[in-house]
Amino acid sequence: KFCKFAFSVSANYARGEEPYLLDQVPAAMLKPATLALDAGYSPFQRPSFIVDFTVDPPRPLRGGKELEEALLQFWE
């Protein structure tokens, strides 16, 4: 049902502006990527979330209460 793992690095340079759309990610960071997905504009206006997909159900590691609530709605 879910992937076993996901790998991601930060989508901005240290102390750089946080991107909220794929078009805002520096081109040099996207060039070596095999695949880049954009789910659209983030209504949370927060930096990236980290989710552990090695457990069932997946568990939020970073993202706070907003991420937990969004995940619960998705997986219920």
In a domain, 6, yes or no: no
pLDDT value, residue 13:
73
Cα four-point dihedral sign 16, 19, 24, 29: positive
pLDDT value, residue 31:
81
**DSSP state at residue 34:** S
In a domain, 29, yes or no: yes
In a domain, 17, yes or no: no
In a domain, 11, yes or no: no
In a domain, 64, yes or no: yes
Coil/strand/helix, residue 52: strand
In a domain, 13, yes or no: no
Query: Whole-model pTM above 0.75?
Result: no
In a domain, 66, yes or no: yes
**What is the domain extent for residue 45?**
22-75
Tens digits of residue pLDDT in 16-60: 777 777 888 888 878 877 777 777 776 666 666 677 778 887 777
Comparing 3 with 12, the larger pLDDT belongs to: 12
Burial level of 3, CB count in 10 A (0-12/13-18/19+)?
exposed
pLDDT value, residue 39:
72
